[in-house]
Amino acid sequence: MKFQVKTILFIVVASFFMTTNLCAQTIQQTTNGLNFSAQEMDIKIEFYAEHTVRVYKTPKGKPYQKNSLSVVGIPKKTQLTYLTKGDRTIVKSNAVQVEVNVETGGISFYDIAGNKLLKDKDYGTQFSPINDAGTPSYKVRNGFLLDKDEAIYGVGQVLDNKFNRRNSSHHMQNENMSTYSPYFLSVKGYAVFWDNYSISQFNDNPQELSFEGLGHCSDYYFMYGQNADGVISKVRELTGKAPMLPLWAYGFFQSKERYHNQDESLNVLKKYRDLRVPLDVVIQDWRYWPEYNKSDSAWNSQSFDKERFPDPKKWVDEIHKLNAKLLIVTWPGFGPHTAQRKEFDEKKMIINFDTWPPNSGARPYDVFNPKALDIYWRYLNKGIFNYIGNDGWWLDSTEPDHINFKPSDFDLPTYLGSYRSVKNGYSLMHNKGIATNQRAVNDKKRGVILTRSGFIGQQLYGSNTWSGDVNSTWEMLEKQIPAALNYTLMGIPNWNSDIGGFFAGRWRKDGGNKNPEFQELYVRWMQFGAFSPMMRSHGTDLPREIWNFGDRGSWCFDAQEKFIKLRYSLLPYIYSTSWDVSNNHGTFMRPLIMDFVDDKKTHEIGNEYLFGRSILVAPVTKYKTNQWPVYLPKGSKWYNFWTDEYVEGGQTIHTNAPIDVVPLYIKAGSIIPIGPDVQYSTEKKWDNLTIRIYVGADGEFSLYEDENDNYNYEKGIYSIIKFKWDDTKKILTIEDREGSFPTMLKSRKFNFTLIGGNKSAMGNKLKKSATLLYTGKNTKLKF
């Protein structure tokens, strides 16, 4: 009661004058937070929304105007209450309260009930003056205090086979196979994004968690979402929502390093069609451009060699006639023999270090210069996009590669300062330039970008990051899974890897593609790829097209075909998940902590995940394994996808996993649509879907459909059919169809299958089925 009185008194006084004196320190109340000075710093607390707080610190008396590369959200008007509590000042929204100590500079974050979430340490921020390539700057460090047993995730794609990032240290420098952002997410339902693009250091030990980098400010965003889904929604509200990719982007991609001419890739596509193995995309890797004097001086000229690609427009037209799409590679570096390089050199828009390939003289352009982004696109559009009408981009080396490295290279100037001060934002800006310029010239085709690096905010540009040029080993396959899960917990939903691993030369002995261990590794990796946001086969040393592993009827061919076809049968589920990702800030690859955080065993499990909200995937990552341990989280009942066997959650089981089976378990209450047998994603309409209902809990699913490849969905041109399962009454409700689009099915057949079991009859299956002609009107079915 005394505290409430003091609160009221403070508000009355604050209405009379806007500052109060505590411990000889001055706090200024603002419309969206607080300003104060402590420990020779000026500190600004700014509520961006009820759940999101920006903390901005600069050396005292040295203001700095920060322009974020990642943050696109703007502060929303937020109702705040200002309180005093002894020598502390508190500002609170309806979701978060922030307590500041104006003597020590400490900042504590609490939920609305008063439970402490995070402490920005007393005396925990330092600005150490440093000379950055001739410009006065600072080494900036910000420390935080976490609970002793608090698990955290994020930080980036780190290939160390670890999931929980506690007690780890990382040199945050984006390179091939290493993709970092200064961010962590806690099991307590909050995250911190330290908005800094310099080469940085993340360190967590029992004393503190800290970020350290280069800059003129310490600028971070505290986001409280109550759970991981809530956090990711706040990340995307701050840094950009993820657009929908076209339906074809969820089909199967075939690539290699490299197809040497236009006939080679076209013949690969024709052979897939002849074999009737589904395929949606072929990718053209490097050196399709002229090779002057057989050197790389014309590297990345964004033009076509006339001998090997005599009619590139016809080439792409033929690909399209076969109902497939083309992605084509483009790099950030240019050889000295290119027109792009000459223009960039003239306008001082080159960062003068050597990039890939070695000894070519290729150098990267300055992505931090807005005019350079436009120039890059002008050449790319004229030489490729507007010329041949390709369907997407493969942006390789977006860190970028650094050849003949010298420490002084980090001193090189960019439009925004030294290269070291902005390096980690390179991929973000490169992707932004291409995505935004493409949309400006053609908004009828959704942007699709495959990129080798990333940074928070890159989800806004339709980018799908792959894990880099990884080795073809069992150990590397195992490392992909927790790396992917930590990456997606940063709010970037699209991720993939080279199926089979990129460097496969070690398998050339004993048969290459016919080497039994490589075949098994490739199939296991493909099983993982089938449950990744992009399913893409690629690599060097050994070709990866399906027929190179044997003929139909051989176990390796058949196992691959099985999972490619499984991927296509799940397209209605995957595309609906894509809508959930875009519209509801959802996630494709969901670590178990997202749905089962109360089960503490999930806090350390990074080798299995939910794909969408229903399918638990436990990829096999060991050679000659016929059984695989799978932890099924408590709080749900589960069904073996292959056998329909019913299992209670909260236990580890050892399930059969022969080479053509990956452990998949379906959460009770799930409703999963199964699509038709097709050779490409849009071959058949979804007019005769099988709908599987896994009993044991209430559930719902929204079947999403649109025109498949344009931005009309942003204007509301799409349809949703909601299915709701009442497990007690055994009633399925198919609600009135919401929305419409010109090519929408007016009626269709749904074939329902109930899959069920119970505790007293563990393993027994009860199936019931029904068929319904659905015309868009609310319908109930009782089973």
Half-sphere exposure of 164 (CA within 13 A, CB side): 15
Based on the residue annotation, tell me whether 411 is a catalytic residue of this protein.
Answer: no
469 is catalytic: yes
How far is C-alpha 202 from the chain's CA centre?
Answer: 20
- Tell me, what amino acid is at 152? I
Q: Cα–Cα distance between 82 and 683 in angstroms, integer? A: 60
604, with CB counted inside 10 A (0-12, 13-18, 19+), is: middle
Catalytic residue among 280, 343, 399, 608: 399
Rounded to an integer, what distance in angstroms lies between the CA atom of residue 276 and that of residue 113? Answer: 59
How far is CA 112 from its chain centroid? Answer: 30
Give the burial string for 706-737 (b: 16+ CB within 10 Å, else e): bbbbbbebeeebbbbbbbbbebeeeebebbeb
DSSP state, 177?
Answer: T
Q: Would you state the structure tokens that stand for residue 750, as one six-digit string?
A: 């749904």
In the chain, the amino acid numbered 198 is: S
What count of other Cβ atoms lies within 10 Å of the Cβ of residue 650? Answer: 14
Q: Is residue 545 flagged as an active site residue?
A: no
Q: Which helix (H) or strand (E) holds 700?
A: strand 699-705
- Backbone φ, ψ for residue 478 (5° rounding): -60, -40
Write out the two tokens for 560: 């691959």
The three-state secondary structure class of 321 is: helix
Q: Cα separation of 83 and 3, whole Å?
A: 9
Residue 282: both structure tokens together: 């072929």
Tokens for 198, please give them.
């310099």
Q: Are 559 and 660 in contact (CB under 8 A)?
A: yes
- Say if CB 553 and CB 583 are below 8 A apart: no
Q: Say how far apart CA 213 and CA 204 lie, in whole Å.
A: 15
Closest C-alpha to 603, from 595, 614, 613: 595
Q: Choosing from 42, 99, 132, 469, which is the catalytic residue? A: 469
Q: Of 99, 396, 401, 580, which is the active-site residue?
A: 396
User: Which residues are designated catalytic?
Assistant: 396, 399, 469
